[in-house]
A and B are shown apart, each in its own frame.
Chain A
Amino acid sequence: MPPASEDIADEPPSFINPYEILGVEKNATADEIKSAYRKQALRNHPDKVSAKDKEGAHESFQRIAFAYAILSDERRRRRYDTTGRTEESLDLEDDDFNWIDFYREQWRDVITEE
Chain B
Amino acid sequence: MALDSYAIGIDLGTANTCVGVYLDGRVEIIPHEGRSSMPSYVAFTETGRLIGAAAKSQVGINPKNTVFDALRLIGRRYSDAEVQADMKHFPFQVLEKKGKPVISVEYRGNTRHLTPEEILSMILSRAKKDAEIYLGSTIMGAVITVPSYFNSSQRQAIRDAALISELPVLLLINGPTAACSDYVITRRFEGERNVLVADFGAGTFNVVLASFEEGILEVKSTASDLHLGGEDYDNRMVNHFVNEIKRKTKKDLTVNRRALRRLRTACEAAKCELSSRKQTQIEIDSLYDEFDFTSTITRAWFEELCQDLFRSHLDPVERVLRDAKMDKSSVHHVIVIGGSSRIPKLQTLLSYYWGGKELSKFLNPDETVARGAAIHAAIMSGYNSKSSNLDEFLLLDVAPFSLGIETAAGCMTPIIKRNSTIPIRKSVVVSTYEDNQTSFLVSAFEGERALTKYNIPLGEFSIQVSPAPRGVPQIEITFDCDRHDNKWVTAAERGTEKGKIYLRYFDRLSPEEIERMKVEARIYDAVDKAEAERVSARNALESHVYSVKRDVSSSDPRNASILRVATLADILLRWLDENQSAQASEYLLRLTGLREVAASITSESIDTDTTKVEAVERVQMPVQPIQAPPSQPLKKPPPSADTGADANSAPINVTFSAGNWQKTFKDST
Interface digits, A50-63 against B, CB 8 Å rule (1 contact, 0 not)? 10000000100110
Complex alpha-carbon distance, A9 and B421, angstroms: 19
Contact A65 B423 (CB under 8 A): yes
Q: Which residues of A contact B498 (CB under 8 A)?
A: 9
Q: Which residues of B contact A39 (CB under 8 A)?
A: 214
A81 interface residue per 8 A CB criterion: no
Q: Which residues of B contact A66 (CB under 8 A)?
A: 425
A92 interface residue per 8 A CB criterion: yes
Contact B214 A9 (CB under 8 A): no
Q: Which residues of B contact A62 (CB under 8 A)?
A: 423-425, 480
Interface digits, B471-483 against A, CB 8 Å rule (1 contact, 0 not)? 0000000101011
Complex alpha-carbon distance, A24 and B61, angstroms: 68
A111 interface residue per 8 A CB criterion: no
Contact B425 A5 (CB under 8 A): yes
Complex alpha-carbon distance, A106 and B148, angstroms: 41
A79 interface residue per 8 A CB criterion: no
Q: Which residues of A contact B421 (CB under 8 A)?
A: 65
Least CB distance from A15 to B in Å reads 13
| Given known contacts A5-B488, A45-B394, A45-B396, A89 and B480 CB-to-CB distance under 8 angstroms | no
| Given known contacts A1-B482, A47-B394, A65-B421, A38 and B429 CB-to-CB distance under 8 angstroms | no
B626 interface residue per 8 A CB criterion: no
- Do most interface residues of chain B lie in helix, strand or loop, or is the interface mixed? strand
Interface set, chain B 473-500, CB cutoff 8 A to A: 478, 480, 482-483, 486, 488, 490, 498, 500
Least CB distance from A63 to B in Å reads 9
Contact A42 B423 (CB under 8 A): no
Contact A9 B478 (CB under 8 A): yes
Q: Which residues of A contact B382 (CB under 8 A)?
A: 50
Instruction: Select which of B216, B424, B428, B482 is within 8 A of A4 by beta carbon.
Output: B482
Interface digits, B205-241 against A, CB 8 Å rule (1 contact, 0 not)? 0000000011110000000000000000000000000
B653 interface residue per 8 A CB criterion: no
Q: Which of B216, B429, B478, B482 has the most A CB atoms < 10 Å from its CB?
A: B482
B311 interface residue per 8 A CB criterion: no
Complex alpha-carbon distance, A58 and B425, angstroms: 10
Contact A2 B216 (CB under 8 A): no
A20 interface residue per 8 A CB criterion: no
Contact A88 B392 (CB under 8 A): no
Interface digits, A21-32 against B, CB 8 Å rule (1 contact, 0 not)? 000000000000
Q: Which residues of B contact A38 (CB under 8 A)?
A: 213-216
| Given known contacts A62-B424, A88-B427, A92-B428, A47 and B213 CB-to-CB distance under 8 angstroms | no
Using a CB–CB cutoff of 8 Å, the interface residues on chain B facing chain A are 171, 213-216, 379-380, 382, 392, 394-396, 415, 421, 423-429, 478, 480, 482-483, 486, 488, 490, 498, 500, 502
Top 7 A-B pairs, shortest CB-CB distance? A5-B480, A46-B483, A62-B425, A38-B216, A38-B214, A2-B502, A42-B394
Q: Show 30 residue pairs from A and B whose CB-CB distance is below 8 angstroms, ordered by the A residue.
A: A1-B482, A1-B486, A2-B486, A2-B488, A5-B480, A5-B482, A9-B478, A9-B480, A9-B498, A13-B425, A13-B427, A38-B215, A41-B396, A42-B214, A42-B394, A45-B396, A46-B482, A46-B483, A47-B394, A47-B395, A58-B423, A58-B483, A62-B424, A62-B480, A65-B421, A88-B427, A88-B428, A89-B428, A89-B429, A92-B415
